[in-house]
Structure 1
Amino acid sequence: MADGLPKVMQVEPAPRPFSIALAYSRLPLPMTRADQMTVAHLISFFAARGHNVDFYALDNGEEIGPAHRQWLEDVCRSVHIFPHGPVRRLMGVMRGSLRGWPLQVGLFSNAAQTRAVREGLADVDIGYSYYIRSAETMRSLGRSRARISGPVTFLAMQLSQALNTRRMAEHFRNLKEKLLYSVETRLVRNYEPRVWSDFTRTVLIGQQDVDEIAAACRDKGLPEIDNVVFGPHGVDVDRFAPRDDVEEEPFTLVFNGVLRTYTNVHAITWFAANVWPLIRAGESRAKLLIVGRDPRPEVIALGELDGVTVTGEVPDPADYIARAAVCINPVQVGAGMQNKLIEFMAMRKAVVATTVANEGIRATPGDHLVIADDAQSFADAVLALLADPARRDSLAEAARNYILGHWTWEAHFLTLEAAMLAALEDSAPPQNALSSPQGD
């Protein structure tokens, strides 16, 4: 992925190709966010399997280079990009507020995209909306509980935004941010238990997300969500692989992530304030590398601490992960899954993480990684691993094998494709209707 493009999927052409309209709230390239990485790799998978993709994306001001644009043109049947600047975003929020939509749904509402998607659905087998931000582009148009005609439609919620925003609201100290996310939590918790039933299938990452939406359904007196397909992210196990060319540093910890997002900023500042002093007290040779793009000022300031280096953006985070004796994921807020965790594990690294970080991964504590949720237990876990190379090695080996068995892009997307084909077959006319003789 040195060229910034998703990996070419190692799959055979599909025996039954289909056509799909994919709606997304931003451009998938360059892949600077986890959702962009997922969408770009999903498109790559569809292309490798021979499916026809009509792609509908918003341009929120991201800069897409010629090579990235050409890649989209090469792998999709058609590419439709809609400008979505500040004025359109403001209009979307205003329109959404009148309809009771979550702020994020209104923010990414684009009338031109919605019209194009709705017209395009007539020419495809499957519609696929990525995130609830794109749900309104094809809501209620496909086969669902209330509708037996139209294409099969998938809503890739991925995570419960209600769970995500509620956790963030609980941790914010800034009153303005706490209020904003509290309002969004209320709006999303009203939206999620209703929108799922307007699609043929709903894609979610983990059981905790299903449970959150099911609870909201019960609270609202609505039918409980029952059309779930599990569709987590994956990892490029060729890029994120054990490295013989980089020497492991026996007392180095690594944290990696986009360092402007609240979840990552909260995680690493909490760790630095509460866990790092305990680790340094127990092992003065310990070093911490904080790796990632766009570090906020409070993250940059951590570089002043003894033993801590903040790298900022680097050409390839894998070069730094390879140096780690232990990788850490102290994330405490958010929902869904943590890409950094499966990247660490794919690189055959011993990992200490929180319960929240592991929710979507479902690795077995003690076998594939170590789970710790408070400062003292987190520090104790790290210190124990730094002092025990054999334990680190056994955890790392189990982690890599777990990822190879469960978390490759190809494995997850083949499962998703099977769910798509099953949905097409479930909603097809009965065989006797197809073969009934014509009247005289």
Structure 2
Amino acid sequence: MKILVLAHRVPYPADKGEKIRTYHQIKYLVEQGHQLTVLAPLEDDAEQGFAEALQQKLGIDVITARLGSGFGRKISAVLRGLAVSQSHFFSPALLAQFKQLLRTEQPDTVLCTSSAMALYLDRAGLSERAKRDCTLLMDFMDLDSDKWQQYARQASIPMRWVYQREARLVARAERQIYQQFDRCFFISYNEVTLFSQQLADASKVSVLANGLDTSAFYPASAPVNATEPVFLFTGVMNYKPNEDAVLWFVQSMWAQVRQQYPNARFIIAGMSPSAKIQQLASQPGVEVTGYVDDILPYYHQASIFIAPFRLARGVQNKILQAMACGLPVITTPMGAEGIACQPGEHLLTAQTEAEFLQCIAEVQQNPALRQALQQNGPELIRQRYSWEGVLQPLQRILAAKEEASV
């Protein structure tokens, strides 16, 4: 089957949430015998090298084009009455290449990653044949309109107005995409449920979960010294939900943690730390790494993974990675959302500062609990979150199309 993938970023290297997800989807589809071509916009010149590396690694065609001025894309969105995030990944040059491929390749399926990539289909002017014969799949990943609503609730004027506008227009786009596409996916059941409440008929929306490469994330060979706790958070550190989680932990709880455990350390490992995150390095025991080539050693030197999320939805890859590495995880119910886990058995959940501090004390003072979390987390990941297992629904949809066309 010929499949065109419209990816909002070059999904290589697979070093952040959405790139990890898209890379493994592409890899899986190639392994199933499909013929793939990936189209992705470039935000900087370095990404061209990533595209070439992806092409060589998976033996697929990767087509790219540079994005224009960021300011120009924002102005275009405002003038056209679009959400700014809808036009953020739009490149006229990439659109031209997409149109050409629709004519010459006549793909069986187009898979879009994120709602922003639907704009290419809107402006491509699909032929009647394509509308009839080409299956359109949308991987929303997260319910972005809800994310913007969360931002708006926490922001003050004028940014509250900006976020409210974005939430309203993205929600409108999500509903339009649902009508246009043949199948839509979210990472978790919670987001499917939330989106379905907006629809008269939700039969085309389903879960396509996140997975984990268990050969890349596994427990350390030797246990760490748990008496002097090393806390860890990983992720892109200019991404608002990550930034908010880390700032809340340090500003609200870190002084009390250090009072109880004077040698405690908190490692914030991830690319692009914002100015606010960089300033946290002045706090006793706090380390801000910036980009790291290999994240696994940081999981192996930590004793607790802390994930106090208050924004965003969807399954958090970083939590799956930490569990696979046998780290006790303490997170909010929002952080555990979409993970098939039992709080108290696979991880611990907390909502308030006092609850987080209580969970930390329980992990530190209860060796039996620590050992159970260290054993149960990796076992859950092995049983439920291999990429091959979680991506089978995608292959079933494509196989059903092939059978119908015979």
Q: Same fold (TM over 0.5)?
A: yes
Question: 1: distance between equivalents of 2:185 and 2:56?
Answer: 26
Shift of 1:115: 3.9
Shift of 1:129: 0.8
For residues 156 and 342 of structure 1, do their structure 2 counterparts lie closer, same or farther at Cα, with a shift above 3 Å needed?
A: same
Partner of residue 166 from structure 2, selected from 184, 190, 211: 184
Partner of residue 402 from structure 1, selected from 345, 358, 380: 380
Q: What is the DSSP-based 3-state SS (H/G/I as helix, E as strand, rest coil) of the residue aligned with 1:310?
A: strand
Question: 2: distance between equivalents of 1:288 and 1:69?
Answer: 36
Instruction: Say whether residues 1:385 and 2:345 are aligned partners.
Output: no
Instruction: Say whether residues 1:130 and 2:130 are aligned partners.
Output: no
Question: 2: distance between equivalents of 1:48 and 1:143?
Answer: 30
Report the counterpart of residue 229 of structure 1 in structure 2. 206
Instruction: Say whether residues 1:307 and 2:285 are aligned partners.
Output: yes
Instruction: Say whether residues 1:357 and 2:324 are aligned partners.
Output: no
Moved over 6 A (4+): 140-144
Pairing 1:235-384 to 2, within 5 Å after superposition: 235-244=212-221, 247-250=224-227, 251-384=229-362
For residues 67 and 276 of structure 1, do their structure 2 counterparts lie closer, same or farther at Cα, with a shift above 3 Å needed?
A: closer
Shift of 1:284: 3.2
Which shifted more, 120-129 or 72-81? 72-81
Shift of 1:424: 4.6
Question: 1: distance between equivalents of 2:402 and 2:74?
Answer: 34
Partner of residue 397 from structure 2, selected from 419, 436, 439: 419
Q: What is the DSSP-based 3-state SS (H/G/I as helix, E as strand, rest coil) of the residue aligned with 2:63?
A: strand
Report the counterpart of residue 39 of structure 1 in structure 2. 22
Instruction: Tell whether the 8 Å contact from 1:142 to 1:153 is kept in structure 2 after alignment.
Output: no
Instruction: Tell whether the 8 Å contact from 1:132 to 1:157 is kept in structure 2 after alignment.
Output: yes
What do you get for the CA RMSD once the two structures are aligned?
Answer: 2.6
For residues 279 and 297 of structure 1, do their structure 2 counterparts lie closer, same or farther at Cα, with a shift above 3 Å needed?
A: same
Q: Structure 2 unaligned segments of length 5 or more: list them.
A: none
Instruction: Tell whether the 8 Å contact from 1:321 to 1:344 is kept in structure 2 after alignment.
Output: yes
Instruction: Tell whether the 8 Å contact from 2:11 to 2:22 is kept in structure 1 after alignment.
Output: yes
Task: Give deviations 1:137-159, integer Å, cap 9, x for gaps.
Answer: 23597899xx9712111011111
Report the counterpart of residue 207 of structure 1 in structure 2. 189
Question: 2: distance between equivalents of 1:77 and 1:239?
Answer: 23
Q: Which amino acid aligns with 1:321?
A: Y
Partner of residue 103 from structure 1, selected from 59, 84, 89: 84
Q: Percent sequence identity over matched residues?
A: 22
Which shifted more, 113-122 or 332-341? 113-122
Q: What is the DSSP-based 3-state SS (H/G/I as helix, E as strand, rest coil) of the residue aligned with 2:237?
A: coil
Q: What is the DSSP-based 3-state SS (H/G/I as helix, E as strand, rest coil) of the residue aligned with 1:138?
A: helix
Instruction: Tell whether the 8 Å contact from 2:42 to 2:48 is kept in structure 1 after alignment.
Output: no
For residues 77 and 279 of structure 1, do their structure 2 counterparts lie closer, same or farther at Cα, with a shift above 3 Å needed?
A: closer
Task: Give deviations 1:79-111, integer Å, cap 9, x for gaps.
Answer: 22112121xx55544444454432211222233
Q: What is the DSSP-based 3-state SS (H/G/I as helix, E as strand, rest coil) of the residue aligned with 1:311?
A: strand
Instruction: Tell whether the 8 Å contact from 1:29 to 1:68 is kept in structure 2 after alignment.
Output: yes
Instruction: Tell whether the 8 Å contact from 1:155 to 1:199 is kept in structure 2 after alignment.
Output: yes
For residues 85 and 76 of structure 1, do their structure 2 counterparts lie closer, same or farther at Cα, with a shift above 3 Å needed?
A: farther
Instruction: Tell whether the 8 Å contact from 2:115 to 2:173 is kept in structure 1 after alignment.
Output: no
Q: Which amino acid aligns with 2:214?
A: V
Report the counterpart of residue 84 of structure 1 in structure 2. 67
TM-score normalized by the length of structure 1? 0.84
Paired positions, count: 401
Instruction: Say whether residues 1:156 and 2:142 are aligned partners.
Output: no
Partner of residue 39 from structure 2, selected from 51, 56, 66: 56
Which shifted more, 407-416 or 235-244? 407-416
Partner of residue 117 from structure 1, selected from 76, 92, 98: 98
Question: 2: distance between equivalents of 1:421 and 1:184?
Answer: 37
Question: 2: distance between equivalents of 1:230 and 1:118?
Answer: 29
